[in-house]
Chains A and B, each alone.
Chain A
């Protein structure tokens, strides 16, 4: 008995596979920008004429923002207006819209601004300095996160009233 001649140690030190997980998609900016674009519509007061028909969000150029906005504004409304998302390939193709997003690969904002003069369009840009070149809201990076600056003067030129919360949560406000 003491010799334990029948005892067998079952040494099955199984190797446990340790998986490596793949990083998720690396574009964490597009959803944030698209989220802000939709949210901006809640804090801007458009003139009565712009509150007729569909609420058109225009996206200029080739950018993943277009698809994301399209996907996330489905079935959503702005003041009872059905949201319609349009993609304009070039500035020349821009037609009447309540909000226009201009991605950072467009240098010549003045062309767009003059085209949309007195059109009640909220121009949203994504490049440093654009807020001084005719943009009303411009995305900026501050404290490692996406924020925005607001140019109230440009908003007033386009007959838009900027709500208090949009001002309060802005990284900078130009008055």
Chain B
């Protein structure tokens, strides 16, 4: 009987100890929240980082949600607009962890809302960074957006966003390349790739077809115009071969753009130029007549 009493007392101590530990952990989470609300994000981060590595709360979906929320707050206060993604990646990882262990789905709505928010910040960063200096960050941010936005709603269709983003990227590459062909040599291939992605997603995209056609065409024209007259005949011939390849590469895209929008003057001018450069005089004249018609009907 005496021994039984001993065991009961011991058990009560253990249970009391566990209870105290849980309370301590809960208070660590609450402390983190309090720090966050008071605006002391460093202390909030310290408190929540300790809580999520403690075995007692390591599997608490709420603790991970709070971690995500605090990290997201740090991003909003300290890193928004700075073209950095590390803190957001950690916030995202915390929300994902919370979702993963949240078998009852108690935090699901809040996790999803925050994941969408982070996805939106990635998208905004991507859009705002499409320039010849920050384009790599734009691509990184856009990829993060793509991965994040489908997490709350896997059926989300982002095709239109993919098209818009790649068109904007291709447009920037083209603009930078046209402005500095020697300094931005690699932008020609990058522009081709980006327009190509758009056409893969939407074969009937007028803008991508037209701009890709013009990219090839203008490249050939630029090579011809920059021709050094002291080149020998073999090289002169080779330059023409290279340009014929470019004109032929341009043609199907320009023809497609024409098919999709037969009254667009820029397309007609480009198409006429390609036919002319390939010595398809009749076709070139036919297109020029259409340009005249458009001019007359203005």
**A interacts with B:** yes
The residues of A with any CB-CB pair to B shorter than 8 Å are 1-2, 4, 7, 9-29, 31-32, 34-36, 38-39, 42-43, 72-73, 76, 141, 143-147, 165-166, 169
Q: Are B234 and A169 in contact (CB under 8 A)?
A: yes
Shortest Cβ gap from B171 to chain A (Å): 5
- Residues of the B chain whose Cβ atoms lie less than 8 Å from the Cβ of A43: 233
Q: Are A169 and B221 in contact (CB under 8 A)?
A: no
Give Cα A76 to B123, complex, Å.
56
Q: Is the interface of A mostly helix, strand, loop or mixed?
A: loop
Q: Are B168 and A16 in contact (CB under 8 A)?
A: yes
Give Cα A99 to B234, complex, Å.
21
Q: Any chain A CB within 8 A of the CB of B91?
A: no
- Residues of the B chain whose Cβ atoms lie less than 8 Å from the Cβ of A1: 33, 37, 66, 69
Q: Are A26 and B218 in contact (CB under 8 A)?
A: no
- Residues of the B chain whose Cβ atoms lie less than 8 Å from the Cβ of A25: 221, 225, 273
Q: Any chain A CB within 8 A of the CB of B78?
A: no
Give Cα A34 to B276, complex, Å.
17
- Residues of the A chain whose Cβ atoms lie less than 8 Å from the Cβ of B120: 9-11
Give Cα A44 to B128, complex, Å.
59
- Residues of the A chain whose Cβ atoms lie less than 8 Å from the Cβ of B270: 23
Shortest Cβ gap from A101 to chain B (Å): 15
- Residues of the A chain whose Cβ atoms lie less than 8 Å from the Cβ of B114: 4, 7
- Residues of the B chain whose Cβ atoms lie less than 8 Å from the Cβ of A9: 116-117, 120
Shortest Cβ gap from A13 to chain B (Å): 7
Q: Are A21 and B113 in contact (CB under 8 A)?
A: no
Q: Are B168 and A169 in contact (CB under 8 A)?
A: no
Give Cα A10 to B231, complex, Å.
58
Shortest Cβ gap from A130 to chain B (Å): 16
Q: Any chain A CB within 8 A of the CB of B85?
A: no
Tell me which of A18, A28, A36, A165 contacts B207 (CB under 8 A): A18
Tell me which of A10, A17, A26, A72 contacts B121 (CB under 8 A): A10
Q: Are B269 and A18 in contact (CB under 8 A)?
A: no
Q: Are B175 and A19 in contact (CB under 8 A)?
A: yes
- Residues of the B chain whose Cβ atoms lie less than 8 Å from the Cβ of A29: 276-277
- Residues of the A chain whose Cβ atoms lie less than 8 Å from the Cβ of B248: 144
- Residues of the B chain whose Cβ atoms lie less than 8 Å from the Cβ of A19: 171, 174-175
Q: Are B279 and A2 in contact (CB under 8 A)?
A: no
Give Cα A144 to B250, complex, Å.
14
Shortest Cβ gap from B238 to chain A (Å): 10
Give Cα A24 to B107, complex, Å.
58
For the complex with contacts A21-B175, A72-B229, 10 further pairs of A-B residues with Cβ separation under 8 Å are A20-B211, A21-B215, A22-B214, A22-B269, A26-B273, A28-B221, A28-B243, A29-B277, A39-B232, A166-B233
Q: Are A24 and B278 in contact (CB under 8 A)?
A: no
Query: Are A21 and B214 also in contact (CB < 8 A) when A16-B164, A28-B224, A32-B224 are?
Result: yes
- Residues of the B chain whose Cβ atoms lie less than 8 Å from the Cβ of A16: 127, 130, 164-165, 167-168, 171
Closest residue of chain B to A38 (Cβ to Cβ) is B229
